[in-house]
C-alpha cells in the first residue's frame, strides 16, 4: 500500500479533533500543500536508504512526504497531543509498522535519538530555529546533510557569506559544521494559518572532516560571540575581554593568528575565527 499525503481539509479536521489552535508561540504554521512537502523532501535528496530525523512534525504533512520515499523517520515533537496522534495518522496513510518513531520531547533537550539518523528535515519556527539546528549539529555528528524550512530572515543569515549585511554569529557557528546554502523559496499560501513573513529552504552538508575537537569548538564560539556582541567594532576592541583584557594584548594575539586587529567580525571567515581560537588553548 503506497503512502498517501495529507490534504488541507484533513489537516484542518485533525486540528479540530485534537483541539489544536495553531499558536505563534510554538510556530505552528501547518503546511497544507502536498507539492511543497514533496519539494522539501526532493531538495533534501531523501532516499529509501536514509534515516531521517524530523523536528516538529506537527500534524504530519511533511512526515508523510518523507516516509513516502521509503526512508525511516524519527520525529521529535514537543506538543504531546500531536506526538500521540502522529503514529495513527501515519498508519492510516499506509506507513508500514516500524517506519516511524515518535519522540515526545523538546528538541532542545534531546541528547539521544533512536535510529541513528543521517539526514535532518524540518519546518522550524522562528524563535527556536537557530538554537535547534546548532544543538542537533553539535549533539548528533552522524547528521550528514539536511534541509530545513525557516523564516527568510533566519535562512539568509545561516547561509550568509562573510562581509554581507546579515552575516553574524549564527552564520559563523553554522559554518563550523560545513557549508550552508539557500535552496528555494516557499509561498506563504501553502501554510495554515497564512504567516505574515516569507519562508525559505536552507540546505547544509557536514564537512567530511571536523574542524576540531569540542574544546576548539567552544573556544571558537566564545570568540564569535565576543566579536559580534557589539557589531562594527574593531576586533582588537571587541575581543579584548577574551584575548588578554586589553586592545594591545588582543592585537598581538590577532596578529599571531594572521588576522588584522583593525578588521571587524563581519569580515572574518570561520577559518579566521578558528585560527584566533587556537591561540586560547
Asked whether residue 116 is marked as a ligand-binding residue, the answer is no
Asked whether residue 35 is marked as a ligand-binding residue, the answer is no
Asked whether residue 77 is marked as a ligand-binding residue, the answer is yes
Which residue from 225, 133, 117 is spatially nearest to 178, judged by alpha carbons?
133
Asked whether residue 31 is marked as a ligand-binding residue, the answer is yes
What is d(CA 212, CA 277) in angstroms, rounded to the nearest whole number? 11
- The single residue listed with the C-alpha cell 574593531 is 234
What is d(CA 132, CA 207) in angstroms, rounded to the nearest whole number? 19
> Contacts for 110-117 with beta carbons within 8 Å, 24 or more apart?
110/76, 110/135, 110/139, 111/139, 113/53, 113/74, 113/76, 113/140, 114/74, 115/51, 115/53, 115/72, 115/74, 116/51, 116/142, 117/51, 117/52, 117/53, 117/74, 117/142, 117/143
Report the 10 Å Cβ neighbour count for 245. Answer: 10
- Strand (E) or helix (H) holding 37: helix 34-43
Beta bridge partners of 70: none
- Start-to-end Cα distance in the chain: 57
- Residue ranges for the known binding site are 29, 31, 56, 77, 106, 123
- Residue ranges for the known binding site for S-adenosyl-L-methionine are 29, 31, 56, 77, 106, 123
Amino acid at each position: 500500500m503506497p503512502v498517501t499525503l495529507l490534504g488541507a481539509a484533513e489537516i484542518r479536521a485533525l486540528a479540530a479533533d485534537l483541539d489544536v489552535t495553531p499558536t505563534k508561540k510554538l510556530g505552528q504554521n501547518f503546511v497544507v500543500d502536498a507539492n511543497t512537502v514533496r519539494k522539501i523532501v526532493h531538495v533534501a535528496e531523501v532516499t529509501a536508504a536514509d534515516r531521517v530525523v524530523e523536528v516538529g512534525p506537527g500534524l504530519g504533512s511533511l512526515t508523510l512526504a518523507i516516509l513516502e520515499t521509503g526512508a525511516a523517520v524519527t520525529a521529535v515533537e514537543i506538543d504531546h497531543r500531536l506526538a500521540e496522534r502522529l503514529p495513527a495518522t501515519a498508519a492510516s496513510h499506509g506507513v508500514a509498522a516500524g517506519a516511524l518513531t515518535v519522540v515526545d520531547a523538546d528538541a532542545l533537550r534531546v541528547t539521544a535519538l533512536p535510529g541513528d539518523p543521517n539526514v535532518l528535515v524540518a519546518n522550524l519556527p522562528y524563535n527556536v530555529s537557530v538554537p535547534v539546528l546548532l544543538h542537533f549539529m553539535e549533539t548528533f555528528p552522524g547528521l550528514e546533510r539536511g534541509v530545513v524550512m525557516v523564516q527568510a530572515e533566519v535562512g539568509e543569515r545561516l547561509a550568509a557569506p562573510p562581509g554581507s549585511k546579515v552575516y553574524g554569529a549564527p552564520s559563523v557557528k553554522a559554518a563550523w559544521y560545513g557549508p550552508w546554502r539557500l535552496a528555494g523559496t516557499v509561498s506563504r499560501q501553502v501554510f495554515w494559518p497564512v504567516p505574515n513573513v516569507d519562508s525559505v529552504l536552507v540546505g547544509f552538508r557536514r564537512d567530511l572532516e571536523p574542524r576540531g575537537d569540542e574544546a576548539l569548538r567552544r573556544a571558537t564560539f566564545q570568540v564569535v560571540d565576543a566579536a559580534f556582541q557589539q557589531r562594527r567594532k574593531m576586533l582588537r576592541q571587541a575581543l579584548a575581554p577574551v584575548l588578554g583584557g586589553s586592545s594591545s594584548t588582543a592585537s598581538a594575539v590577532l596578529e599571531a593568528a594572521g588576522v588584522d586587529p583593525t578588521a571587524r567580525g563581519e569580515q572574518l571567515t570561520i577559518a579566521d575565527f578558528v585560527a584566533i581560537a587556537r591561540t586560547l588553548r
